[in-house]
Structure 1
């Protein structure tokens, strides 16, 4: 907070001094007049002089005022630049390019395009695969150049560090499309996986439904192949059948289980836990902590949960709402008496709820040490998750999530 500067006390001046100053504008001798130009430094020196110590104090105050002004200008400049810098650089053409230069492309990368994809939805996929420089490079290019493009579903072989025009050229080229490849991401259900395989491999879905009808032909004793279709990218020869596709994916799941040290007798149990981890954990760093929560809650002698998992993902799966796009469960999901509703039935559900990748399988086998019984994702954008040992702390986390949802409507709450 700035304080007003006290003016020097005027004293009777000698006649000679007063006469010498008579031809100039009378000066108060204040810093304000000096800075504004209404007084000359000689006027200040010619005015009645306060004690030396006061002059020094006044000088320091003047310096402080100058520094405050300069700091304000600099701070304001930074604030303005942070707000409008990108627009200024874009206008002047001096900003960092949003695209890689032509001729930089190298190596190999793949991207999967699904039905309904647009430039806005494809752009982040290209960036994550290392193909484009920014997450919105392709989308910006298409908007700025008014490019109309229809994206055809399929797996495409591209290169890393491509320019946006080169990406579109490659996507137009039929040779870039891998007609016998399929890419499955983690967390898909069996039905979602069959849809993706049929679309990407151009094999009728009915063929895949017939191929998964009898899990025993692949050495799986479970009643369905839910959780046994491993998420990865697969290449197949021309003429591959649906049964051959499923066989390769199940074998890949067995390979992952073996690598994690899962005994054959425990495969189904680990896949159940891994599938829950895959659907519940928002960040890979939390996989092993979610695994610990599951193990802690499964202990029948604890007074905190009495063996109930109470996982929303399992309750949603039991009523077909796991892909509904909401992180919160409906009343129907929480109360429906089905073998996947872990709010009602203690222990694990009767089978996996989705496919799980290597990390989730390893986390299911090797939970980190901890005393948590609860976890709640409190920010769906960042995936920030709070782990709690007591129900009281869990209630605080739930309220934090509710507050976030109130501040971020239509965000998947």
Structure 2
């Protein structure tokens, strides 16, 4: 409402008398617009402005830039952010540009692994927000930590944090990435200290001395596995073998793995060659169950029942038995393929060369728990009465004679076509195959000649 004496009102450019004066100090072209009722005070956006409500709430210095010391870009004291003097809009425009820069920078950091940009971004964020919490030094005490198969950096870090080894996941993952061999940490049981720095934890886990893993090589018999487990678990000799015998039917063997009563060890062929965590305090049955589960998983990749039928075998167990013979008698993959063919050729009912007998030294060695090359005369070997003695029995032994690897199994499933019935390893790297006994005897003569040369060198 206009003041008395000035019908035009004080804000329309008239010469109103204010506070006893005849001069209007606000009646200039630069005067502020008149105040509006509360419902109408919201400033209209300038043409082209796309500012959205709520963006002024992004007040973290990383997004606003308020911590960069650029005082000239801040609103001057006394600026009325509700008024129409243009200062607020200029301030908001600057904040919006900072947001755009921040987003752009973050995008570059995320995708800029090439040329070290990712590392620079990581360093920048560390300088802004600080490095993840970490212990200092080598720690103290001793704790055993089991890392499962397929665990990645963050999963490993989580396990270590829960065990008190490292202070944070972020510290461990950063240390793992900075170590050139950090990604080679394997599954297994590790002996570590509590309160270790992340870098020290990574270094220790990469050391073979901290990794309590039992590696089962291809072809090893169960007797060897049991002995190794007793040593690592610090158990009395024979403890693991006793558990295996008592718990054989409770360790997860496939239904088809149960063969005849003549099988010496139901777990033979089912302690799959691989690396397993084995450390003091662990239970033998738990470890054996993992080994059997691994074997069952590997064998389930193939329809062994269908494959056995194609090969003229009675069961999947016989496929594993053939694979174990191939593993024991051969050395290289190309030899495996031919040895497998010799097995199937000798199993043929019309085989007149060996009349159904395999006559493999490896089966006699299995019976006697030994590994020898010279077993003596064939006639003497046939006197050994045992269902595993292939010099005496016809056909396959009751079960596997060791733990075959994936390559031996593949050869048992897909042997090389050929007419061979005999083979002999002349040297460590050379195996000769023959179709007739006469040819085989010539190969044996060469073997004996090579053996004498080796003996003379010693």
Q: Residue 221 of structure 1 aligns with which residue?
A: 258
Matches of 2:389 and 2:318, distance apart in 1 = 16
Cα distance, 1:286 vs. partner?
0.9
My pick for the range that moved more, 206-215 or 243-252, is 206-215
1:389 aligned to 418, 432, 435, which one? 435
Distance 1:241 1:298 in 2: 41
Cα offset for 1:177?
1.9
Offset, 1:203: 4.7
Question: TM-score scaled by structure 1?
Answer: 0.54
CA contact (8 A) 1:274 1:363 kept: yes
**Unaligned 5+ residue runs, structure 2?**
1-178, 193-202, 307-313
Matched, 1:398 2:444: yes
Deviations 1:239-287 (A, max 9, x none): 5311111111111111222223312972321121111111100222211
**Change over 3 Å in CA distance of 1:255–1:105 after alignment to 2:** closer
Alpha-carbon displacement from aligned partner over 1:69-94 (angstroms, at most 9, x marks no partner): xxxxxxxxxxxxxxxxxxxxxxxxxx
Residue matched to 2:327 = 278
Q: Tell me if structure 2 keeps the 8 A contact 1:260–1:362.
A: no
Q: Structure 1: how far apart are the matches of 2:338 and 2:427?
A: 17
SS of the residue corresponding to residue 385 of structure 1 reads strand
Task: Give the superposition deviation at 1:317.
Answer: 1.6
1:350 CA drift (Å) = 1.6
Per the alignment, do residues 397 and 251 of structure 1 end up closer, same or farther by CA in structure 2, a change over 3 Å counting? same
Which of 294, 300, 317 is matched with 1:268 structurally? 317
Match of 1:248 among 290, 294, 302: 290
CA 342–410 in structure 1, closer or farther in 2 if over 3 Å, else same: farther
Following superposition of structure 1 onto structure 2, how do residues 189-204 of structure 1 map, counting pairs within 5 Å?
A: 189-204=221-236
SS in 2 for 1:182: strand
Post-superposition offset of 1:170 = 7.2
Q: Which residue in 2 is equivalent to 1:367? A: 415
* Counterpart mapping for 1:163-202 below 5 A: 176-179=209-212, 181-202=213-234
- Is the contact made by 1:310 and 1:343 (CA closer than 8 Å) also made in structure 2? yes
Map 1:5-404 → 2, pairs under 5 A: 107-108=183-184, 176-179=209-212, 181-214=213-246, 215-218=248-251, 219=253, 220-222=257-259, 223=263, 224=265, 225-235=267-277, 239-263=281-305, 266-321=315-370, 323=371, 326-331=372-377, 333-380=381-428, 383-404=429-450
| Aligned-partner Cα distance in 1 for 2:369–2:426 | 24
CA distance in 2, matches of 1:316, 1:279: 10
Q: 1:340 to 1:206 in 2, by over 3 A?
A: closer
Maintained 8 Å contact 2:269/2:404: yes
> What's the offset of the Cα at 1:392?
1.3
Task: Tell me: CA distance 1:410–1:229, structure 2 relative to 1, closer, same or farther (3 Å).
Answer: farther
| Preserved contact between residue 227 and residue 353 of structure 1 (Cα < 8 Å) | yes
Q: Which structure is larger by alpha-carbon Rg, 1 or 2?
A: 2
Q: How many pairs are equivalent?
A: 251
Task: Measure, in 2, the Cα distance between the counterparts of 1:393 and 1:156.
Answer: 57
Q: Is the 2:320–2:400 Cα contact (8 Å) retained in structure 1?
A: yes
Structure 2 SS opposite 1:302 = coil
Counterpart in the other structure of 1:146: none
Structure 2 vs 1, CA of residues 378 and 197 (structure 1 numbering), >3 Å: closer, same or farther?
same
C-alpha separation between the residues in 2 aligned to 1:408 and 1:346?
A: 34
CA RMSD between the two structures: 3.4
Tell me how far 1:172 sits from its aligned partner: 12
**1:408 paired to 2:454:** yes
Would the alpha carbon gap of residues 239 and 320 (structure 1) be closer, same or farther in structure 2, given more than 3 Å must change? closer
Q: For 2:327 and 2:457, how far apart are their aligned partners in 1? A: 20
